[in-house]
């Protein structure tokens, strides 16, 4: 009886550690994708606008290819651990189905964190970016129009994308 209880505790510990490591790996992978895409677009812009060729463009492209290769292994790991096949280029529906495969507590934690992120973006991060852009415009004497338009478009997008939920649940 005591041994079974210890085995259950050990299995629970392995379960938590395995899923935690999988999520940390997914987060690290997403951050790497963003960093590589940012480096790639900056390198391409530098080559086109400044008309100079850099090694960073080649390295960024190589890193992107390596990350796409790593994505294949990440999705294989997800398939093994979670028994869920995620498409290489997943749609929002695919990812929602994936999240719905989580256990109830993990799904609730995911939804709460997603809400916090969205709320903080909408209420804190984007308004602070407006102020930051205003200060940059004031200091440089140039209106940062493109940056204002991009931040405004993201802000409007976040709020407009709430409409389908309102229409769906409050008919």
Provide, rounded to the nearest whole percent, the portion of the chain with pLDDT above 70: 94
Domain ranges of the chain: 1-101, 104-171
Q: What is the reported pLDDT for 134?
A: 95
pTM: 0.72
The per-residue pLDDT for 141 is 92
**Residue 120: its pLDDT value, please?**
96
pLDDT of residue 5: 61
What's the rounded Cα separation, in Å, for the pair 3 and 71?
Answer: 39
State how far the Cα of 155 lies from the Cα of 128, in Å rounded to an integer: 12
- Residue range 24-75, pLDDT digits in tens: 988 999 899 888 888 888 888 888 877 776 777 788 888 888 988 888 888 8
Residue 138 or 169, more confident: 138
The packing angle between helices 2-49 and 55-82, to 10°, is 160
Contacts of 144-153 with C-beta under 8 Å, sequence gap 24+, read: 151/126
């Amino acid at each position: 009886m005591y041994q079974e209880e210890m085995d259950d505790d050990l299995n629970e510990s392995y379960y938590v550690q395995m899923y935690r490591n999988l999520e940390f790996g997914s987060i690290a992978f997403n951050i790497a994708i963003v960093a590589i895409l940012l480096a790639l677009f900056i390198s391409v812009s530098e080559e086109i606008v400044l008309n100079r060729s850099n090694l960073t463009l080649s390295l960024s492209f190589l890193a992107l290819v390596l990350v796409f290769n790593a994505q294949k292994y990440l999705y294989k790991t997800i398939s093994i651990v979670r028994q869920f096949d995620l498409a290489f280029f997943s749609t929002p529906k695919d990812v929602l189905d994936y999240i719905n495969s989580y256990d109830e507590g993990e799904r609730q934690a995911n939804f709460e964190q997603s809400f916090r992120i969205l709320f903080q973006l909408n209420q804190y991060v984007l308004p602070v970016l407006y102020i930051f852009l205003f200060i940059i415009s004031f200091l440089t004497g140039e209106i940062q129009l493109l940056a204002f338009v991009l931040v405004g478009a993201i802000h409007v997008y976040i709020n407009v994308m709430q409409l389908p939920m309102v229409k769906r649940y409050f008919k």
